[in-house]
């Protein structure tokens, strides 16, 4: 059958577990698993058919069936580490843990849940583990190495408190210790040698009648058994007579074991004796005794029988001894273990816990001593009590050292260390007290056993340890004293502190174990340390004397004295501090006289803090003086030696006099204040609000004497002075009065703010609203007082009225600001003309652009006019819809009409301002300018062309056309107001309202008419300037007025030379250049005169003049050039003929001579032609 992955994983784990056995390898384990019965058990484990069988153990050991006793003997030997006779070879087999005893290491497989998937090699559903040959050892290892560490490091204890956690850890450590003890017993017990099985076999069941024959056949068997039994007797006697080695251990020659070792010793002894007894009860051991007893009855020589009888008699004595020793051990364990829970605090508890446990511990020890059978000897009881003393010393050392080194004591807090040291002394005293108390109780029954133990043995070491502790207390108290001196940083104490540090460091450098009370070197060094401290105390004494030589302040001196008393621990210095108190007391007498003089000087006007009222301030001043003399006297009273001095009576008498005076001063002020309470409370009968006759304003009518009364009451109450009921009532109402005062102040302040926020134009129309608010305030001015019961409802009523009035005023202001005034500003700033600053415009486009812009702006003005009208209507509606009290007059129609007229007039003013601004802007834009101002940021408004219109130079369009456009624009500005309805006639019928516009009112404004008249003549100012500019073109009249042909004929008639032509052409070119250099744009006022057209016209005429003269000159140059060219062509043709005879040669020579003769003439003819062409270029 094929194995599943889960089977193979199990095989791997089994091989891993028994890897120390070389014969257990993978093939052997596979063969074992493939056995049908083994495979069936594993499959049953995997399937979970049997829920109770959820674990299977795999062993590799000898499997055999044995009887109970032999099995027990073999198992005991195995547990003790002995070697049993291996008859069979070990083998692999399975068990469920309830049939076979574990001889060696084994492993197990534990199923979690219902079933395991065999196809999965490994998961958490099947767990694997190993168990060693000793289960106790396995459990102890797990607990001590794993679980105890995990529990100690874990912080997840839930709701368990620290005490329960500590108890759990203590119990677990105790259990681990018990396991260790059991393992020691099992591994360290006495083992009796077992007889060989081949020697015993055959004799165990033999008949005594044939015994002699068998002895004769095997004579060596008797000596073997004798030797074996004698060896057993020797081993047992040696064990019984040996001293308890584990009861006493050495540590530098001193005992350190506690009472727990006594319990462990007797428990171990009981277990080992029990083990010996069980060994002797084995069948093989009994066979040895039986066989030797049979020898005495028959068989063997007489000498042999006598020897065996002596040996058996010895054996019986040994058997009786071991039985008695076992009974003793069991009895001792029974009684000693009653002490266990009382001894536990000696190891893990604090010193205080031990003290609390001592009565019960001593009572248990008394019980053991009186009724125990074996353990009630004085020696054992002395040993037990001495061990308890030793453990108490160990516990004290542990509580002091806390597991640290010796240096820890020097670094530890002195107060904490002294507490633990004193606790050690208290423990010793309590221990001895409980011992003596128990001893006295036993003495009450003289017939019973008594505590007649050596107390030196019991308490000697503890007393010696406590003497060392007392020295440490003295030393560390001294260290604490000087440490506190250093911390207080008293002036002049530094040298003393430094000297002490050197003394302390010198002692510390000797590195003594401070708690080793056997070390005598410490005692010698301690004496030397005290000697140095005594010398140092002299310096401290001098410092103390100097500190009290000049006493300027009694309180400071007493505080300094108290500080020294709390610091100084040594008796030698404490005795001197009492004398300083007498010195302070003498100075206190002078202090009393100063206080008396100060009282007489300042009693009429005493100084006190500014935040205190008069009564409390005077009482506080008197109490301050009283405290100044009273506090020191309290300290003096505690010292009867001071009060018994010679001047004490005088000082006490003066003190009583001054104290009575100060108390009387306080009582007079208090009595006067009590009498003034009713007078101060009369202010509560005043009305809440009052109107001031001078400024007619409302004020809160709260008497501040009430607040002063409350302040006095509060301050006096804090000073623990009895307060009258009437003042307490006022104090209890403090919060109410302050709340009412604050709320009324806020209400009147809010009312003043609302009044101040009212727009002046709405003041008259809101008169009824403020009358309504005044009516709401009237009860507080007439009927309500500060003791009235309905002040809360009154304040809520006026707060509601203020909230309503504030909402109305806020809405009114919002409408006026955002819907009326903002729109009026928009209307006032609206321009009805579009006047671009950075560009010029043609006159043909000007009127169209202005009319389009005015139409757009007219719609804006109409909309804003309607918005303002609706806003005024909403404003009136808000005001009229306010709900008044029944007796308050409503808003009058006259006030409403005045409000409408007011904002209608403002609308008219805004429209008028818009018209004036538009007219002035147009006027300013087309106003006259002087020449071309290059610094001007705005361009000329109109673009005009300068043209030749024979017979003159004119503008296009003309100035008259420009003026006409401006007039039409001004008319368009005014005409837009014909579309804006004047809503000032809202009281008229609807058909009449629409007939009235703002046009008539605006056009009747004189200033606007004046601006309009100025616009109609704005162009007249630049006519002369324009005419003067146009006249500058008259010098060019000859260009386009003179006849070119007749003028040229006159020029040619005079036979002009080439130079004359050159002069004429140069003149024409200069004129043309001059014309082209004229400005293309000339600005005059709002006009931009463009000269490009006239410049082109004059330039063309100049070109025509030049062409007229240059054409004729060109024709002449061409004729001359053609004549010269023709001569050259003919001469070149002649020279190109071939010379063939003398005639042709002569002809050629003549031609060459002619060319040479005419060469200079040719140059003369060429120069004028070249000059003419250069001139034409």
Greater confidence (68 vs 406) lies with 406
Within 13 Å of residue 477, how many CA atoms lie on the same side as its CB?
Answer: 17
**pLDDT at residue 1176 in the model:** 64
**pLDDT at residue 426 in the model:** 93
672, two tokens: 């006067």
DSSP string, 1072-1088: HHHHHTS-SEEEETTEE
Task: Indicate whether 327 pLDDT > 70.
Answer: yes
The answer to whether 554 and 615 have CB atoms below 8 angstroms apart is no
**pLDDT at residue 497 in the model:** 77
196, two tokens: 């060989």
The answer to whether 1039 and 1102 have CB atoms below 8 angstroms apart is yes
Q: How far apart are CA 664 and CA 658, in angstroms?
A: 10
Average pLDDT over residues 1106-1114: 70
Average pLDDT over residues 291-312: 77
Going by pLDDT thresholds of 50, 70 and 90, the confidence category of residue 1141 is confident
Q: How far apart are CA 539 and CA 658, in angstroms?
A: 40
Domain locations in the chain as residue ranges: 5-133, 185-467, 548-668, 686-827, 829-1024, 1133-1176
The answer to whether 654 and 589 have CB atoms below 8 angstroms apart is yes
Over residues 188-224, the pLDDT tens digits come to 567 777 776 555 555 555 555 555 555 556 667 778 8
> Residues near 305 by Cβ (< 8 Å), separated by ≥ 6?
295, 296
Tell me the pLDDT of the chain averaged across its residues. 79
**pLDDT at residue 800 in the model:** 92
**pLDDT at residue 512 in the model:** 85
Q: How far apart are CA 225 and CA 294, in angstroms?
A: 12
Going by pLDDT thresholds of 50, 70 and 90, the confidence category of residue 538 is low
> Residues near 757 by Cβ (< 8 Å), separated by ≥ 6?
809, 810, 813
Greater confidence (1146 vs 327) lies with 327
- 250-251/126-131 β-pairing: unpaired
CA distance to 12, 127, 511, per residue, from 111 (Å) = 17, 6, 62
639, two tokens: 């010292």
Task: Indicate whether 989 pLDDT > 80.
Answer: no
Average pLDDT over residues 98-104: 79
**pLDDT at residue 581 in the model:** 61
**pLDDT at residue 158 in the model:** 79
Average pLDDT over residues 950-954: 70
The answer to whether 1106 and 1065 have CB atoms below 8 angstroms apart is yes
Q: Worst-scoring range by mean pLDDT, 37-46, 280-289, 368-377, 1033-1042?
A: 1033-1042
In this structure, what DSSP letter does residue 104 have? S
Going by pLDDT thresholds of 50, 70 and 90, the confidence category of residue 466 is very high
Q: Please report where in the chains the tokens 């007392």 appear, as a residue.
A: 470
Percent of the chain with pLDDT over 70: 80
In this structure, what DSSP letter does residue 691 have? E
Question: What is the dihedral sign for C-alpha 1011, 1016, 1020, 1023?
Answer: positive
Task: Indicate whether 595 pLDDT > 70.
Answer: yes
Average pLDDT over residues 1037-1051: 72
778, two tokens: 């009237």
Q: How far apart are CA 803 and CA 881, in angstroms?
A: 16
Going by pLDDT thresholds of 50, 70 and 90, the confidence category of residue 244 is low
Task: Indicate whether 1055 pLDDT > 80.
Answer: no
Q: How many CB atoms lie within 10 A of CB 210?
A: 10
Q: Worst-scoring range by mean pLDDT, 168-182, 355-369, 669-683?
A: 168-182
Q: Which residues are registered as beta bridge partners of 94?
A: 58
Greater confidence (411 vs 815) lies with 815
Q: Worst-scoring range by mean pLDDT, 68-82, 456-470, 874-888?
A: 68-82
Average pLDDT over residues 567-582: 59
Most confident stretch, 258-272, 563-577, 1033-1047: 258-272
Percent of the chain with pLDDT over 90: 10
19, two tokens: 């890897």
Over residues 700-712, the pLDDT tens digits come to 888 878 878 888 8
Over residues 807-849, the pLDDT tens digits come to 999 999 999 999 999 999 999 998 888 877 766 777 767 778 8
**pLDDT at residue 67 in the model:** 42
Going by pLDDT thresholds of 50, 70 and 90, the confidence category of residue 129 is confident
pTM for the structure as a whole:
0.47
Q: Worst-scoring range by mean pLDDT, 378-392, 764-778, 1131-1145?
A: 1131-1145
Going by pLDDT thresholds of 50, 70 and 90, the confidence category of residue 3 is confident
Average pLDDT over residues 487-507: 77
**pLDDT at residue 928 in the model:** 47
**pLDDT at residue 822 in the model:** 93
The torsion of the CA quartet 631, 632, 634, 639, rounded to 10 degrees, works out to 160
In this structure, what DSSP letter does residue 981 have? B
- 1081-1084/952-956 β-pairing: unpaired
- How many separate helices (H) and strands (E) can be counted in the chain? 44, 13
**pLDDT at residue 871 in the model:** 92
């Amino acid at each position: 059958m094929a194995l599943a992955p889960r089977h193979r994983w199990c095989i791997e784990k089994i091989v891993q577990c028994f890897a120390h056995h070389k014969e257990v390898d993978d093939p052997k384990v596979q063969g074992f698993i493939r056995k049908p019965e083994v495979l069936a058990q594993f499959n049953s484990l995997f399937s979970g058919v049997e829920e109770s069988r959820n674990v299977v153990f795999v062993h590799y050991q000898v499997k055999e069936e044995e009887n109970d006793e032999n099995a027990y003997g073999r198992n005991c030997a195995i547990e003790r580490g002995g070697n049993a006779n291996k008859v069979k070879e070990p083998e692999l087999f399975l068990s469920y843990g309830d049939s076979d005893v574990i001889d060696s290491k084994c492993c197990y497989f534990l199923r979690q849940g219902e079933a395991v998937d065999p196809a999965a090699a490994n998961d958490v559903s099947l767990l694997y583990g190993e168990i060693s040959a000793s289960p106790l050892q396995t459990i102890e290892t797990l607990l001590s190495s794993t679980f105890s560490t995990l529990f100690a490091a874990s912080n997840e204890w839930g709701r368990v408190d620290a005490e329960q956690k500590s108890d759990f850890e203590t119990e677990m450590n105790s259990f681990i210790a018990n396991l260790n003890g059991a393992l020691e017993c099992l591994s360290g017990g006495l083992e009796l040698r077992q007889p060989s099985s081949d020697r015993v076999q055959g004799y165990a069941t033999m008949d005594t009648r044939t015994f002699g024959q068998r002895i004769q056949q095997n004579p060596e068997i008797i000596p073997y058994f004798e030797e074996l039994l004698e060896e057993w007797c020797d081993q047992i006697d040696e064990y019984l007579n040996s001293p308890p080695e584990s009861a006493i251990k050495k540590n530098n020659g001193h005992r350190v074991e506690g009472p727990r070792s006594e319990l462990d010793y007797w428990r171990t002894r009981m277990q080992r004796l029990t083990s010996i007894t069980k060994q002797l009860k084995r069948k093989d051991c009994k066979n040895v005794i039986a066989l030797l007893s049979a020898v005495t009855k028959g068989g063997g020589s007489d000498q042999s029988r006598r020897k065996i009888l002596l040996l058996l008699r010895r054996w019986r004595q040994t058997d009786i001894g071991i039985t008695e020793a076992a009974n003793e051990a069991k009895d001792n364990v029974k009684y000693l273990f009653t002490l266990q829970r009382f001894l536990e605090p000696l190891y893990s508890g604090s010193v205080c816990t031990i003290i609390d446990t001592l009565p019960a511990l001593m009572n248990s020890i008394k019980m053991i001593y009186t009724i125990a059978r074996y353990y009630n000897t004085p020696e054992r009881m002395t040993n037990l009590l001495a061990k308890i003393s030793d453990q108490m010393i160990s516990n004290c050392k542990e509580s002091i050292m806390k597991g640290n080194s010796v240096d820890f004591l020097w670094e530890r807090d002195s107060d904490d260390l002294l507490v633990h040291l004193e606790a050690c002394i208290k423990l010793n005293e309590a221990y001895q007290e409980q011992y003596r108390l128990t001893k006295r109780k036993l003495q009450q029954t003289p017939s019973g056993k008594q505590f007649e133990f050596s107390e030196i043995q019991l308490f000697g070491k503890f007393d010696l340890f406590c003497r060392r502790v007392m020295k440490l207390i003295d030393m560390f108290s001294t260290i604490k004293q000087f440490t506190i001196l250093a911390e207080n940083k008293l002036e002049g104490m530094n040298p003393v502190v430094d000297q002490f540090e050197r003394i302390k460091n010198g002692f510390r450098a000797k590195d003594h174990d401070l708690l080793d009370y056997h070390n005598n070197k410490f005692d010698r060094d301690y004496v030397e340390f005290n000697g140095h401290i005594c010398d140092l105390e002299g310096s401290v004494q001098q410092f103390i004397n100097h500190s009290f030589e000049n006493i300027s302040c009694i309180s400071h001196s007493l505080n300094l004295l108290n500080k020294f008393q709390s610091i100084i621990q040594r008796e030698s210095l404490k005795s001197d501090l009492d004398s300083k108190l007498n010195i302070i007391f003498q100075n206190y007498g002078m202090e009393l006289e100063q206080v008396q003089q100060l009282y007489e000087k300042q009693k009429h006007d005493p100084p006190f803090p500014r935040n205190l009222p008069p009564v409390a301030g005077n009482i506080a001043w008197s109490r301050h003086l009283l405290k100044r003399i009273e506090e020191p006297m309290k300290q003096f009273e505690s010292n009867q030696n001071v009060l018994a001095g010679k001047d004490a009576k005088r000082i006490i008498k003066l003190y009583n006099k001054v104290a009575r005076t100060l108390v009387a001063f306080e009582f007079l002020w208090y009595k006067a204040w009590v009498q003034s309470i009713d007078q101060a409370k009369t202010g509560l009968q005043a009305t809440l609000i009052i109107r001031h006759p001078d400024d007619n304003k409302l004020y809160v009518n709260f008497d501040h004497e009430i607040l002063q009364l409350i302040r006095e009451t509060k301050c006096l109450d804090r000073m623990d002075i009895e307060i009258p009921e009437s003042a307490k009532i006022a104090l209890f109402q403090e919060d109410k009065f302050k709340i009412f005062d604050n709320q009324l102040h806020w209400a009147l302040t809010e009312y003043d703010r609302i009044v101040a926020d009212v727009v002046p134009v709405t003041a008259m129309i809101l008169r009824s609203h403020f009358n309504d608010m005044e009516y709401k305030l009237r009860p507080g001015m007439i009927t309500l007082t500060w003791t009235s019961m309905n002040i809360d409802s009154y304040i809520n009523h006026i707060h509601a009225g203020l909230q309503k009035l504030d909402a109305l005023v806020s809405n009114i202001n919002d409408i006026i600001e955002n819907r009326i005034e903002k729109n009026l500003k928009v209307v006032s700033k609206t321009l009805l003309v579009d006047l671009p600053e950075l560009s010029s415009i043609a006159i043909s486009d000007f009127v169209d652009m202005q009319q389009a812009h005015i139409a757009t702006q007219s719609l804006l003005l109409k909309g804003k006019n309607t918005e303002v009208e609706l806003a005024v209507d909403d404003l009136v509606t808000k005001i009229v819809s306010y709900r008044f009290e029944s007796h308050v007059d409503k808003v009058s129609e006259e006030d409403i009409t005045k409000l409408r007229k007011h904002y209608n007039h403002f609308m008219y003013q805004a429209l008028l301002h818009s018209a004036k601004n538009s007219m002035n802007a147009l006027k300013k834009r087309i106003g006259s300018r002087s020449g071309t101002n290059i610094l001007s940021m705005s361009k000329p408004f109109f673009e005009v062309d300068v043209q030749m219109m024979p017979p003159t130079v004119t503008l296009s369009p003309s100035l008259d056309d420009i003026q006409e456009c401006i007039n039409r624009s001004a008319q368009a500005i005014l005409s837009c107001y014909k579309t804006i309805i004047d809503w000032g006639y809202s009281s008229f019928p609807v058909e009449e309202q629409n007939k009235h516009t703002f046009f008539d009112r605006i056009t009747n404004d004189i200033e606007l008419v004046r601006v309009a008249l100025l616009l109609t003549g704005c162009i007249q100012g630049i006519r002369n300037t324009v005419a003067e500019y146009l006249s500058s073109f008259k010098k060019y009249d000859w260009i386009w007025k003179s006849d070119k042909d007749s003028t040229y004929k006159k020029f040619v008639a005079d036979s002009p030379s080439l130079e004359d032509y050159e002069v004429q052409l140069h003149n024409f070119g200069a004129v043309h250049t001059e014309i082209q250099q004229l400005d293309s744009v000339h600005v005059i006022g709002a006009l931009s005169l463009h000269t490009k057209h006239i410049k082109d016209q004059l330039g063309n005429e100049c070109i025509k003049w030049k062409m007229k003269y240059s054409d004729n000159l060109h024709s002449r140059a061409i004729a001359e050039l053609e004549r010269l060219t023709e001569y050259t062509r003919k001469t070149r043709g002649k020279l190109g003929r071939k010379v063939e005879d003398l005639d042709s040669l002569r002809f050629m020579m003549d031609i060459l001579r002619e060319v040479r003769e005419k060469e200079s003439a040719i140059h003369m003819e060429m120069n004028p032609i070249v000059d003419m062409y250069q001139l034409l270029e």
